[in-house]
Structure 1
Amino acid sequence: MSHYHSDNSELSVTEDAKQQRCARTDGEPRPSILTRFITSSRWTPPWCRQQPGREFGYNSGIVLLSAFASAVAAANLYYTYPVLNKAADDFGVSYERAALIPQLLQGGYGIGILFLCPLGDVFRLRPLILTLTLATTCTWLGLCLAPSFEVFTTLSFLTGFVTVSPQLLLPLIGTLAPPERRATAVSLVLAGMMMGLALPRVVAGIVTQYTPWRNIYWVALGLQCILVALMWLFFPDYPRPDPNNTQTFTRKYLNILGSIVRMAIKEPILAYGCIVTFLVNAVQASFWTTLTAHLAGPPFNFGPLNIGLFSMIGVGTTILIPVYAHFVIERFAPYFATTNGLLLTIVTVSLDCYTGDVLKIGGPILQAFGVDFGVQLGSVAYRAAVYKQLPANRANVIFTACAFIGQLVGTSVGNTVYARGGWQNVGIFHVALALLTMVVIYLRGPKEKGWFGWTGGIGLRLENGGAKEKEPEEGCSSDENSTGV
C-alpha cells in the first residue's frame, strides 16, 4: 500500500524521483540514505501533509509550537553551567577542564548555525527539523549515559552542532507572519529561546543541590522526547523551497552559502541589523557574566542558588517583549523602537552603578531588567525589518552568527573590565556600547536606499501594508541542465 496521497506532496515527490532516476542513468550516484530520508514525505500524519486547496500558513498554533521547540532546544545549551563542579568531581577532572563542556556545546552550536541552517533553503523544513530534533535526542541520551569525560565532551559538541532547529523556526515564522504581526510573532519565538536560557540555570541549580547532577540531564531528555512527539504530530510539511530549482545538492548548497556572504555586504538593512545585534548581545552577555562575580562578593556575598534566581528576571522580560513588539515595534520604525530600549538600558545601568549603596540589591535587579529587556528590543526590531525585505533563513544565519560573536566578545571584555576596574567600570562599558548602538542606528533612516542618510524623511510610523517583495537570490534560479537533489 502506498504511503503517498494524490496531492501536491505526491507530485513533488514523483518529480524528485524522476529527476533522481534520470540522474542515475547519467552516472549520478544514488542519493544517500540521509538525503532520501530528509527529502521524503513519508512518516507524515495526514493532517500535516500538503493537500490540494490547502496551504499551511500563519496561525497561533505554529507560533506557540515554535516557541516551545525553541525553549527546549536552547535550554540544552545551558543546563551544564550550574552542574560543572559536580560533573568535574564525578569525572575526576579539574573545574577548569570541565569548563570545556559548555565551550564545546556553544562551539558546536555556532558551527551548526553556519553549515546546517542553510539546508533550510534546500530541503523541506518538516523532515529536516525532525531529523535534527531526533539527532539531538540521541546525542542527549548519550550524555545521560556517558561513562567518561572524553565521551561526554565529544557528545556535547555533537549536541550543540545539531541543536539548531530554533534558528530554522525563527525565519519560518518571520516569513509566514503578515507584516502587521511579524514583530509580535518573531518576539514570541525569541521569548521561547530566552526562556530556554533563563530557566535551565535555576532549575538545574535546584535539582543538582538535592539530587545527583545527571538527573537534570534525564529531565531534559524527557522534554526532548516530548518535543519530538509534538513536532511529528503537529508540525506541517511546508513545500520545498524553490521546487523548480533542479541544481544538484552541492551546487545549490554552495550557491546558498555564497548568497549569504553577498547579502551581508550588499544589503544595508541587514548590515545595520547585524551591527546592532552584535552590540546589544555584547552588552547582555557582559552583564550576566560579571553579575555572578558582583553578587558573590561584598556587600552581597550571595550563594549559587540566590545568584541563579536572578535569571528569573529574564522570564519577566520575555513576557513583556511580545507586548512591546505588538504596540511599538509593529507600528514604528526600527530606530525608534530600539532607541527606547537603549535609553532604558542607559538609565538603569547608571542608577545601579553611580548611586552608591542607595538602591542596595535593588540596583542589580533594576539593571538586570533594563539590560535584559532594553537591549533585546533592537534585535527584535531589526529582525522584523530584515525578514520583511530579504530571504529570512539566510539573513537569520548572519544575524545569529553576529549575535554569537557579540556574546563571546561581551563575555571576554566584560570579564577583563570587571577584573581591572570593578562593577562601575563594567557599567561604563555597557553605557558606551549602548551609545555606540544609538549612533549606528541614526546613520541611516528607515526609507534610505543607500548606506547613509535620511532620504525620504524620518518615516516614524511603519506602513505594514507595503512590505517589499523579496527578490530572488542569485544562484538559486532554475537550471534545466542540472540534475535534481
Structure 2
Amino acid sequence: MSQYLSDSSELSVTEDTKQDEHVVEAKAVPSVDIPTKSRPSILKRFVRRSRWTPPWCRQQPGREFGYNPSIVLLSAFASAVAAANLYYTYPVLNKAADDFGISYERAALIPQLLQGGYGIGILFLCPLGDVFRLRPLILTLTVATTCTWLGLCLASNFEVFTTLSFFTGFVTVSPQLLLPLIGTLAPPERRATAVSLVLAGMMMGLALPRVVAGIVTQYTPWRNIYWAALGLQCILVALMWLFLPDYPRPDPDNTQTFSRKYFNILGSIIRMTLTEPILAYGCLVTFLVNAVQASFWTTLTAHLAGQPFNFGPLNIGLFSMIGIGTTILIPVYAHFVIERFAPYFATTNGLLLTIVTVAVDCFTGDVLGIGGPILQAFGVDFGVQLGSVAYRAAVYKELPANRANVIFTACAFIGQLVGTSVGNTVYARGGWSNVGMFHIAFSLVTMMVIYLRGPREKRWFGWTGGPGLRLENGGAEKKDESSETEKNSTHV
C-alpha cells in the first residue's frame, strides 16, 4: 500500500513536472497576434455602395448607350433642379437680411457668391468631363451640392452661409456636363430638339424659383424654400444614381498624367476659340443675346415697381411665368425650324421678334399699359434663346461638345454680367425707353455678326457655297462621321 502510494506520488510529481515544463515552454514561445477582420467604417460602406452601379446602367462589352429620349428628360429635370439652386435666393434677400441682422446691401453678397462660384466651377470643373467617366463625376457633384445645400439650411451665421453659397455654386455645374453629352449622343436630325429640351429645363430652373420662393416667403419662414429645394436635390441624387448610364470616358488615353491631360484640355479650349470660326461666332452671338436678356430682366423690376404700375414683389415675380411659356415653345421651334435650317435663319427670326416687341413696348407703352412689358418679356426671352440653341446645335455637330460648352457658358455668363451693368446704368440715366434702345442696338449688332459668314464658309468671313438655307440630313450625318473620325485620330 505504502509502495503504491509512493509510486503514485512519484507519478503525480512526474506528471506535475512535465506540465510545468510544458507551461514554461509555452511561455517561452513568443505570442503572435492573429489579425482579425475589422468591419469597414460607415463612411467606407457608404462610398462602396454609392459606387455600385445598377446592372441596367453598367457599361458592358457589346452594349452601347446611345441616344435615348428618357435620358434627355432626366437631363432636363436635373438641369432645372440644379439651375434653380442659383435663383432661390433673390426673392428672399430681404427676409434673410432681417434674420441675419445685416443690411440688404450686404445680403446681396449671397447671390453674387453663388454666381461667382458657378462661373469658376464651369471653367475648372467642366473640363473634367473629358478626363473622367461622366456617371461618377456627375454623381459626385450632385451629392456635393446636396451636402452644401444642407449646410445652407442649417447655417445660422452669415459668414458661414456666404461661404457655403460660394461652394454650392462651384459644384452646381452638372447641367453643363449633361448638355454637351446630349448634344453628342443625339443624331443630327434630333440634336437641336434634344439640346433645346435641356436648355428649356435650365430656363425653367431660372423662372420658377423666383415665383415659388416669393410666394413661400410671403406666408412662411424663408428657410422653408431651402428645405423644399433640399428635398428636390435628394430626389435628383436618387434618380441620377438609378438611371444615369455609365458612359465610357471620352478620351481613353492613359499615357498622360492627370495634371498634364487637364491643362492640355484647358489649352485646347482657348485654342479652339481662336481657330474655329463657328465656335467664335457662336460665342459672340451667345454673349450679345445674353446681355440683352439679362439687361431686360434686371431693369424690369425697377420699371414695374415704379410709376405707373407700382407692383409689389409678388406681382413682379409672376412675370417670370412668361419665361415658362417660352421654354415650352423653344423645343417646338427647334424641331420644326432649327433642325431644318441654317443657324443664321433661325437666329434672325428670333432677333426680329425681339426688335419688334421692344419697339412696340418703348414707343406705344402708354397705349398698351402692362401689355407692353408682357409683350417685350415674351419677345426678348423667346427671341434671344433661339440664337443660343441654333449655334450650340451647330457647334456640337463639329467640335468636342464638352469643351465647346465651357466657352459657350463662359460667354453667356460674361454677357449676363455686362448686360446687368449696362442695363442698370442706362435705366438710371434715361429710363425704360433708353433701355429698349439699348436692346434694339445689341440685337442689330448680333444680326450683323451672323451675316458676316455663311453656313458653308470655311474661312472667317464670306459666303462661299451660297446661303445654304436648308440643312441636308445626309450632309449633316456625313459631317458628323468625319468630325468623329478627326476626334478619334486626335485622341490616338
TM-score (normalizing by structure 1): 0.89
Per the TM alignment, residue 473 of structure 1 is displaced from its structure 2 partner at its CA by 5.9
Residue in structure 1 matched with residue 43 of structure 2 by the alignment? none
Mapped to 2, the partners of 1:459 and 1:276 lie a distance apart of: 19
CA shift for structure 1 position 465: 2.3
- Secondary structure of residue in 2 paired with 1:264: helix
Give the equivalent residue in structure 2 for 1:88. Answer: 97
| Superposed counterparts of 1:86-485, under 5 Å | 86-467=95-476, 468=479, 469-470=482-483, 472=486, 477-478=491-492
Instruction: After superposition, give the CA deviation of every residue in 1:256-285 in whole Å (9 maximum; x if it has no partner).
Output: 001001001000000000000000000000
C-alpha contact 1:256 1:476 (8 A) present in aligned 2: no
- CA, structure 1 residues 470+41, in 2 after alignment: closer, same or farther (shift >3 Å)? farther
Once the two structures are superposed, residues 6-33 of structure 1 have per-residue CA deviations (whole angstroms, 9 ceiling, x without a partner) of: xxxxxxxxxxxxxxxxxxxxxxxxxxxx
**Aligned-partner Cα distance in 1 for 2:178–2:87:** 20
- 1:155: Cα distance to partner? 0.1
Distance of aligned partners of 1:159 and 1:350 in 2 relative to their CA distance in 1, 3 Å threshold? same
| Structure 2 counterpart of 1:470, one-letter code | S
SS at match of 1:357: helix
Q: Measure how far apart 1:390 and its partner are.
A: 0.2
Cα contact 2:204–2:324 (8 A) shared by 1: yes
**For 2:229 and 2:292, how far apart are their aligned partners in 1?**
29
The Cα of 1:39 is off from its aligned counterpart by: 13
Distance (whole Å) between structure 1 residues aligned to residue 442 and residue 253 of structure 2: 45
Contact 2:365 2:372 in 1 (8 A): no
Find the counterpart in structure 2 of residue 34 from structure 1: none
User: Which segment drifts farther, 37-46 or 422-431?
Assistant: 37-46
Identity %: 90
Give the Å deviation of 1:474.
11
Task: Say which SS state the counterpart of residue 358 (structure 1) adopts.
Answer: helix
Distance in 2 separating the partners of 1:423 and 1:341: 22
Does the 8 Å contact 1:321/1:377 carry over to 2?
A: yes
Contact 1:268 1:451 in 2 (8 A): yes
* In 2: Cα distance, 1:365 partner to 1:333 partner: 30
Q: Hey, what does 1:17 align to over in structure 2?
A: none
Partner of 1:71: 80
Secondary structure of residue in 2 paired with 1:413:
helix
AA of the residue aligned to 1:198? A
Q: Secondary structure at the match of 1:375?
A: helix
User: Contact between 2:87 and 2:111, CA under 8 Å: does it hold in 1?
Assistant: yes
Q: Which amino acid aligns with 1:65?
A: L
How many Å separate the matches in 2 of 1:238 and 1:188? 21
In 2: Cα distance, 1:449 partner to 1:245 partner: 34
Query: Contact (CA 8 Å) 1:245, 1:477: kept in 2 or not?
Result: no
Q: Cα distance, 1:43 vs. partner?
A: 1.2
Contact 2:118 2:169 in 1 (8 A): yes
- In 1, the alpha carbon distance for the partners of 2:169 and 2:178 equals 17
In the TM superposition, what is the alpha-carbon distance from 1:246 to its structure 2 partner? 2.2
Q: Taking structure 1 as reference, are residues 182 and 399 closer, same or farther at Cα in structure 2, changes over 3 Å only?
A: same
CA distance in 2, matches of 1:260, 1:153: 31
Shift of 1:475: 11
Conservation of the 8 A alpha-carbon contact between 1:418 and 1:426: yes
Distance (Å, rounded) in 2 between the aligned partners of 1:124 and 1:41: 15
Q: How big is the alpha-carbon RMSD for the aligned residues of Structure 1 and Structure 2?
A: 1.8
The letter for the 2-side match of 1:183 is: A
Contact map agreement 2:139 2:240 (CA 8 A) in 1: yes
Aligned partner of 2:15 in structure 1 is none
Q: CA deviation at 1:395?
A: 0.1
Amino acid at match of 2:146: T
**In the alignment, residue 323 of structure 2 is paired with which amino acid?**
G
Equivalent of 1:45 in 54, 77, 83 = 54
Q: Map Cα deviations across residues 35-88 of structure 1 (whole Å, 9 max, x no partner).
A: xx9999941111100122221110110000000000000000000000000000
Cα distance in 1 for residues equivalent to 2:51 and 2:436 = 54
CA separation of 1:476 and 1:212: change in aligned 2, threshold 3 A: farther
Q: Once the 2 structures are TM-superposed, how far is the Cα of residue 477 of structure 1 from its aligned partner?
A: 3.4
Deviation, 1:343, is 0.3
What is the SS of the residue equivalent to 1:67?
A: helix
Check conservation: 2:457, 2:464, Cα contact below 8 A.
yes
- Conserved 8 A contact 1:67-1:190: yes
The superposition leaves residues 224-245 of structure 1 with CA deviations (integer Å, 9 ceiling, x where unpaired) of 0000000000000000112134
The residue type equivalent to 2:483 in the other structure is K
Whole-angstrom distance in 1 between the partners of 2:144 and 2:49: 17
Letter in 2 for 1:403: A
Query: Unaligned regions of 5+ residues in structure 2, if any?
Result: 1-45
Name the SS for the 1:326 alignment partner: helix
Alignment check: 8 A CA contact 1:39 1:127 kept: no
Matched residue, 2:17: none
> 1:3-14 alignment to 2 at 5 Å?
none
What residue identity is the alignment partner of 2:112? Q
SS at match of 2:367: coil
State the number of aligned residues. Answer: 443
Query: CA shift at 1:463, angstroms?
Result: 1.5
Q: Say if 1:129 and 1:147 are closer, same or farther in 2 by CA, change over 3 A.
A: same
Distance 1:242 1:70 in 2: 24
User: 1:389–1:470: 8 Å Cα contact kept in structure 2?
Assistant: yes
Give, as a single letter, the amino acid of the residue that structure 1 aligns with 2:326.
T
* Aligned equivalents of 1:136, 1:475: Cα separation in 2: 36
